[in-house]
Amino acid sequence: MKILVTAGPTREHLDPVRFLSNRSTGKMGYAIADVARLRGHDVQLISGPVSISSPASIVCSRITTAQEMHDLVLEQLPDMDVLVMCAAVADWRPCEVSRHKLKKNAMQSTLPLVRTADILEAVQRIRRPEQIIVGFAAETHDILSYARDKLDRKGMDLIVANDVSRSDAGFGADSNAVTLIDKTGAICELPLQSKHEVAKKILDWVELHAQKIHANASLR
């Protein structure tokens, strides 16, 4: 299959030296891309600013902002069978970006913000029915409730919910403990394990779901 994976954070600049971002390191997304490559899939990776080297034999496009990721995902999606939206994309950006470093005595005490483009919302409008869309829900409380809501609102086939308040899982850690929820409501809890092992379980689900899609198509 042709699989598009997004990974890492985005940075929304206030000026040339300051930006809004998050704690994502890209480890989970890179693990998914690497496992997919090892299984023989054609993998494209879109990565925010991270310190990880690109996996071998994978075309990696580096971006900085949410808008750049939005544009590249929509550009590449038509050629893909699967989108795994693992990146932690900023929800807000400063209304204005200064060309020069802002001096603190000239800065206001409030920062005007505007929402960034919602990538999965845009994907929902243009995806083909047979394309498989996987998303992530990084939460700190009411994990499953928020994940189910996001799954429904964004029209995904599978969502991977994880508690990023844990020190041994989520952002920055080499391990993860997640819950897979698919659009039928089926739930699979994965205990703490390496992110590569989690990636294998996610790819297992994707490959099985793809087989079901092809089987149903052959019956028509």
* Catalytic sites, residue numbers: 22
Question: Rounded CA gap, 84 and 82, in Å?
Answer: 7
The 3-state secondary structure of the chain reads CEEEEEECECCEECCCCCEECCCCCCHHHHHHHHHHHHCCCEEEEEECCCCCCCCCCCEEEECCCHHHHHHHHHHHHHHCCEEEECCECCCEEECCCCCCCCCHHHCCCCCCEEECCCHHHHHHHHCCCCCEEEEEEEECCCHHHHHHHHHHHHCCCEEEEEECCCCCCCCCCCEEEEEEEECCCCEEEEEEEEHHHHHHHHHHHHHHHHHHHHHHHHHC
What token pair was written down for 139? 């939460």
| Phi and psi, residue 193, nearest 5° | -160, 175
